[in-house]
Structure 1
Amino acid sequence: METTPELVSELRPDDVFVFGSNAGGLHGGGAARIAHERFGAVWGEGHGHHGQTYAIDTMSGLETLAREAGDFVAYATAHPELRFLLTPVGCGIAGYTPQQVAPLFAGTPTNVTVPAAFASYL
Structure 2
Amino acid sequence: MKYPVFVFGSNLAGRHGKGAALFARQHRGAVYGRGQGRQGNSYAIPTKDENLMTLPLSAIEYQVEVFLTHADNHRDEQFQLTPIGCGLAGYRPEQIAPMFYCAPDNVILPDEFKAIISS
TM-score > 0.5, shorter chain as reference = yes
Q: Distance in 2 between matches of 1:55 and 1:95?
A: 17
Match for residue 29 of structure 1 among 18, 40, 44: 18
Structure 1 runs not aligned, ≥5 long:
1-11
1:9-63 deviation per Cα after TM superposition (whole angstroms, max 9, x unaligned):
xxx4252000000011100000000000010000011110010000000112211
* Structure 2 residue 65 is the aligned partner of structure 1 residue 76: no
Residues paired across the two proteins, number: 111
Shift of 1:121: 2.4
Determine which structure has greater relative contact order: mean sequence separation of CA pairs < 8 Å that are 6+ residues apart, divided by chain length: 1
The 1-side partners of 2:69 and 2:85 are apart by 19
Q: Which residue of 2 aligns with 1:3?
A: none
Moved over 3 A (4+): none
Note closer, same or farther for the CA distance 1:31–1:14 as it changes in structure 2 (3 Å cut). closer
Q: How does 1:57-68 map to 2 (within 5 A)?
A: 57-59=46-48, 60-68=55-63
Q: 1:111 aligns with which of 100, 106, 115?
A: 106
Q: TM-score, normalised by structure 1?
A: 0.87
- Secondary structure at the aligned position of 2:35 is classed as coil
Question: What residue is the counterpart of 1:19 in the other structure?
Answer: 8
Alignment equivalent of 1:39, drawn from 13, 19, 28: 28
Match of 2:116 among 98, 112, 121: 121
Cα distance between partner residues in 2 of 1:100 and 1:93: 14
TM-score by length of 2: 0.89
